[in-house]
Amino acid sequence: MTLIDAMTSIDAQRLLGRIRELGGIGRDGEGRLVRLAASDADRLGRDRFVGWLREAGLEIAIDRMGNIFGVWQAPANAGHAPILVGSHIDTVIDAGIYDGCYGVLAGLEVIETLKASALVPSRPLAVAAFTNEEGVRYSPDMMGSLVHAGGVGIDEALAAVGTDGSVLGEELARIGYAGDEEPGFLKPHVYLELHIEQGPVLEREGVPIGAVENLQGISWQRITIDGVANHAGTTPMSMRNDAGHAAARVVTFLHDRAKASNTPTVATVGTMRFEPNAINVIPSRAVFTVDLRDPFEHRLQAEEAALAAFLENLAADGGVAISVERLARFEPVIFDISIVELIEAAAKKRGYASKRMTSGAGHDAQMMARLAPAAMIFVPSAGGISHNPREHTADAELVAGANILLDIVAQLADQEVSGDG
Residue 373 belongs to domain with CATH number: 3.40.630.10
Looking at the fold, whether 289 and 338 belong to one and the same domain comes out as no
Q: What is the pLDDT of residue 330?
A: 87
Q: What is the pLDDT of residue 393?
A: 98
pLDDT, mean of residues 116-135: 93
Summarize pLDDT for 200-209 with one digit per residue, the tens.
999 999 999 9
Contacts by residues 263-272 (CB-CB < 8 Å, ≥ 24 positions apart): 263/294, 263/299, 264/216, 264/294, 264/295, 264/358, 264/360, 265/292, 265/293, 265/294, 265/299, 265/300, 265/303, 266/291, 266/292, 266/293, 266/294, 266/360, 267/291, 267/292, 267/293, 267/303, 272/247
Q: How confident is the model at residue 328 (pLDDT cuts 50, 70, 90)?
A: confident
DSSP 4: S
- Domain boundary residue among 330, 353, 388? 330
Find the range with the poorest average confidence among 111-125, 155-169, 292-306, 368-382: 111-125
Range of the domain at 252: 217-330
Q: How confident is the model at residue 286 (pLDDT cuts 50, 70, 90)?
A: very high
Q: Give me the percent of the chain exceeding a pLDDT of 90.
A: 90
Q: What is the pLDDT of residue 417?
A: 75
Q: Across all residues in the chain, what is the average pLDDT?
A: 95
- Domain boundary residue among 330, 357, 379? 330
Structural domains counted in the chain: 2
Q: How confident is the model at residue 288 (pLDDT cuts 50, 70, 90)?
A: very high
pLDDT, mean of residues 113-121: 88
Would the pLDDT of 249 be above 70?
Answer: yes
Looking at the fold, whether 297 and 348 belong to one and the same domain comes out as no
Would the pLDDT of 74 be above 90?
Answer: no
> Are the beta carbons of 363 and 193 closer than 8 angstroms?
yes
In a domain, 418, yes or no: no
pLDDT, mean of residues 16-31: 97
Looking at the fold, whether 286 and 344 belong to one and the same domain comes out as no
Looking at the fold, whether 199 and 65 belong to one and the same domain comes out as yes
Looking at the fold, whether 289 and 198 belong to one and the same domain comes out as no
- Is 108 exposed, middle or buried (CB count within 10 Å of its CB: 0-12, 13-18, 19+)? buried
pLDDT, mean of residues 244-258: 98
Looking at the fold, whether 189 and 318 belong to one and the same domain comes out as no
Looking at the fold, whether 304 and 231 belong to one and the same domain comes out as yes
- Could you tell me which residues come within 8 angstroms of residue 299 by beta carbon, excluding any fewer than 6 positions away? 263, 265
Provide DSSP, 209-275. Answer: EEEEEEE-EEEEEEEEEE----BTTTS-GGG---HHHHHHHHHHHHHHHHHH-SS--EEE---EEEE
Would the pLDDT of 7 be above 80?
Answer: no
pLDDT, mean of residues 144-152: 97
Binding residues for Zn(2+) are 88, 99, 134, 195, 387
In a domain, 419, yes or no: no
Provide DSSP, 316-329. Answer: HHHT-EEEEEEEEE
Looking at the fold, whether 294 and 347 belong to one and the same domain comes out as no
Binding residues are 88, 99, 134, 195, 387
Looking at the fold, whether 228 and 197 belong to one and the same domain comes out as no
Looking at the fold, whether 198 and 66 belong to one and the same domain comes out as yes
In a domain, 146, yes or no: yes
Q: How confident is the model at residue 1 (pLDDT cuts 50, 70, 90)?
A: very low
- Domain boundary residue among 281, 301, 330? 330
Looking at the fold, whether 82 and 198 belong to one and the same domain comes out as yes
- CATH code for the domain in which residue 260 is found: 3.30.70.360
Looking at the fold, whether 17 and 141 belong to one and the same domain comes out as yes
